[in-house]
Chain A
Amino acid sequence: MAHFTKATSVKDWLNQRLAIEKVEKVMASEYWIPKNINFLWAMGMVLAITFALLLVSGIFLLMYYQPHVDLAFDSVNFTIMREVDFGWLWRHVHGVAASVVFLVIYIHMFTGIYYGSYKKGREMIWISGMLLFVTFSAEAFSGYMLPWGQMSYWAGMVITNIFSLGDLHLNGLVEWIRGDYVPAQAFLSRFFMLHVLLLPLAIMGLIGLHFAALRIPHVNNQDGEEIDFDAESKKYLAGDKAGSKVMRFANDFMSKDLMVVGIFLIFFFYLVFYNYGFALDPVNFDPADMLKTPAHIYPEWYFLWSYEILRPFSVNIGLMAFGFAQVIFVLLPWLDRSPNAVPASRRGAFKVWFWLLLIDMIVLTAMGKLPPEGIFSTIGLVAALAFIVLWVALPFITMNEKKV
């Protein structure tokens, strides 16, 4: 057993038992961050804050929500929206944050791709990030089921149908997932459980892994510079704050994080109070009706690009393309054969690849929402093929990249 002495202060008492000073150093004041990074590096903090908003608003909503097919719709739209003080506010915060979190995730992802932050020891950061993307997607989908509106019901129907896997006709699997022949009580109960327990637990665990993965390789920087963190941090601690290439996480970088969070929250609350329609789809304010299919069934905007990779093909090919799109991002650290971990702007062909991928995914997103008719189908098909071609071409265009 360790040796304990009579504490001289509360801090000392805690220090002897929890080593709080050391923890504070490791986690914050001597957690070293490169100085040459821009506001895109604050997206992690923006995501953490958005997740906190989702968690807190979700806890309030959970106190009134009823996971029963006969009560769910009214518990949301009557109890929470009308009866509970500020229930409408929690719901709008939750709904808007669920949509905006994906905007920030995509910015965060494309930042990683642009600056090559998945290379040279940072592979686990990328993989844990992609696992977070997958669990956030499942969390968003399961949450979308809960108000039990028309879009909840029909999106649940369409997405679970995917698991029959076309000509494999795995209808038994679909029934197993639903717990019924159609989305009904068993379906709602289990998606409720997934949304409020299992997936949030997985997300919190993965956030821990994501942070841990960052520790050894350190944060990347915007110039692709290799920084000697030991030497630079010594310089900083010796008093040469301006000359050192690194800074403390807290308060140095955190002050910038918080500034970006402040600006982000202005945008976020503007959406919550004045422009929430995009995140709370009007169609979902009609109660679920299994006898009435909505004229247009579409997923939320952040799933549209992968939906459009599924849609333009025949069933089996579409499913294969869809599966390809779901896993291919995870493999990025190995598909990119280049030795350079520098910004895309200095990587020749990869630069073109990056902007083409971004534009292609925006085109896919737009076509995923538009009715699959006429010119929209054609554009969707071309964009889906382009997506596959881009990823297949990636190893070849990066293989011959010159070392910079």
Chain B
Amino acid sequence: MKNKEPLILVIVIAFALLTYWLVEPFAHSQMHKHVEGKNFAYADLPALTKVGNAANGKELTMGAAGCTGCHSIIKEGAPAGMDPVTAAQSYGVNPPDLGEAGVLYDAKFLAELIKNPAHALKVEHKFDAAKGQMHPMVAFYGAGGDIDQEVADMVAYLQSIAVKKDELTPKMAYENACGRCHEMRYEKWTQIGTKPSFKFEKDLLAFDIQVLEYQNALTAYMGKLPPDLSMYIRSRSEHFLSTFIENPQAHLAGTAMPRVGITADTAHKVIEHMANSGDTKRDERASIGTNVMWYILVFAIFAFLWKRSVWRDLH
């Protein structure tokens, strides 16, 4: 009788693969909306038409534009006016330090953010000036000259004080661009900064109360406490994270999460930081995986040879 095993194997594999394809790739393609990334081009925002002058930008940022009224620029000697908790209680969320804004954010986005925050952030559904819903960041209406020139100057200034692109680490990218709303407890990150180790429980509790008060203000501002992102690299695909960061509204229309306007490079680093929190063993997994596969392959070959020697007498 002819050997039917190859045919049986083909049938078993074919049905298993068909089932897999139906419940995984096909089912997920039907369940989730597909959003195509646009490479962080922000094509809806106008391009900068003027060449900025960083020196003028510094004067505006520190002076007439009033940025430092709310934002600190620690590296330029402009301290924060309030501690993070008080700031969150005043504005909803702690206004970011602007030291690295020039490298984190897209230039077009920064320019639009200065002129029309709710539009740049895509939160006009929440903040409609006509209905008296003002965005906590006050728009810049010009300091008397050409507003486009003034905005370009400020963007140039922010770019001039920021670190170089390759000096921006994944951790810096996350903490600056995401960290004032999103906790990452596996990396000891809270919305008010890295949680220190305390010697006395009293100090730990005092710190936790600060975090809690910040979170209460943030919850009131956002409607819901933004999630901890410790495990987001495993709970969301990289494609989802990337396209969601690029434009949250494309996935979740009406969400309170603003478009944060980071560059493709910053987004890449933010996602890398998420992997550094939620998938720390990925390199170990790859190297052990290779070794185990070789080991099992050799095992299977020996098992096959043993079977053949045992069965030689049986036929």
Contacts and interface: CB of A to CB of B under 8 A. Distances in A.
B141 interface: no
A258 B30 contact: no
Given A38-B4, A282-B235, A362 B24 contact: no
Given A242-B314, A256-B311, A262-B303, A366 B296 contact: no
Instruction: Please tell me the size bucket of the interface on A.
Output: 35 or more
B8 interface: yes
- Looking at A78, A262, A301, A370, which has the most chain B CB atoms within 10 Å of its CB? A262
A272 B90 CA distance: 49
Contact of B19 (A36, A285, A362, A370): A362
Contacts of B310: 251-252, 255
B297 interface: yes
A227 to B, nearest CB: 15
Is the contact region of chain B dominated by helix, strand, or loop, or is it mixed?
helix
Nearest to A292: B224
B303 A273 contact: no
Chain A binding surface SS class: helix
Contacts of A277: 24
A255 B311 contact: yes
A345 to B, nearest CB: 10
B307 interface: yes
B300 A252 contact: no
Interface string A258-281: 110111011001101110011010
Interface stretch (B72-80, B118-126, B150-158, B277-285): B277-285
B288 interface: yes
A371 B30 contact: yes
A282 B234 contact: yes
Interface in A367-382: 369-371, 376
Interface stretch (B10-18, B131-139, B258-266): B10-18
A261 B293 CA distance: 14
A122 B138 CA distance: 80
Interface stretch (A58-66, A81-89, A126-134, A165-173): A81-89
A82 B281 contact: yes
Contacts of A235: none
Contacts of A180: none
Interface residues of B, number: 53
Interface string B271-312: 000000010110011101100110011011111101100110
B199 interface: no
B289 A259 contact: no
Interface string A341-378: 00000000000000000100010011001110000100
B288 A89 contact: yes
A39 B9 CA distance: 9
Interface string A227-261: 00000000000000110000100011001101101
A362 B232 CA distance: 32
Nearest to B31: A296
Contact of B313 (A77, A242, A266): A242
B248 to A, nearest CB: 16
Contacts of B186: 77-78, 82
A252 B19 contact: no
B237 interface: yes
A251 B27 CA distance: 44
A88 B289 CA distance: 12
Given A259-B300, A259-B303, A273 B231 contact: no
Nearest to B287: A273
Contacts of B284: 88
A364 to B, nearest CB: 11
A269 B304 CA distance: 18
Contacts of A82: 186, 280-281
Contacts of B231: 77, 285-286
B190 to A, nearest CB: 16
A371 B303 contact: no
Given A252-B310, A255-B303, A270 B293 contact: yes
B27 A258 contact: no
Contacts of A247: 314
Given A88-B281, A89-B288, A252-B314, A39 B24 contact: no
B236 interface: yes
Interface in B214-261: 227-228, 230-232, 234-237
A185 B314 CA distance: 58
B315 interface: yes
B132 to A, nearest CB: 30
B285 A255 contact: no
A273 B296 CA distance: 13
Given A39-B8, A273-B292, A371-B31, A265 B236 contact: no
A283 interface: yes
Contact of A274 (B5, B18, B289): B289
A378 B190 CA distance: 49
A397 interface: no
A283 B232 CA distance: 10
A277 B239 CA distance: 15
A102 to B, nearest CB: 11
Contacts of A88: 281, 284-285
24 contacts: A40-B12, A77-B186, A78-B230, A82-B280, A88-B281, A88-B285, A89-B288, A241-B313, A242-B314, A255-B310, A255-B311, A262-B299, A262-B301, A265-B296, A265-B300, A269-B292, A270-B293, A273-B288, A273-B289, A280-B234, A282-B237, A285-B235, A358-B15, A366-B22
| 10 interchain residue pairs of minimum CB distance | A273-B289, A262-B300, A285-B235, A366-B22, A262-B303, A285-B234, A255-B310, A255-B307, A369-B27, A259-B307
Interface of B: 1, 4-5, 8-9, 12, 15-16, 18-20, 22-24, 26-27, 30-31, 186, 227-228, 230-232, 234-237, 278, 280-281, 284-286, 288-289, 292-293, 296-297, 299-304, 306-307, 310-311, 313-315
Given A40-B8, A369-B27, 20 more contacts: A35-B314, A77-B231, A77-B278, A255-B303, A258-B307, A259-B303, A261-B303, A262-B299, A265-B299, A272-B292, A273-B285, A273-B289, A278-B23, A282-B234, A286-B231, A287-B228, A296-B31, A362-B18, A365-B19, A366-B27
Interface of A: 35-36, 38-40, 77-78, 81-82, 88-89, 92, 103, 107, 222-223, 241-242, 247, 251-252, 255-256, 258-259, 261-263, 265-266, 269-270, 272-274, 277-278, 280, 282-287, 295-296, 301, 304, 358, 362, 365-366, 369-371, 376
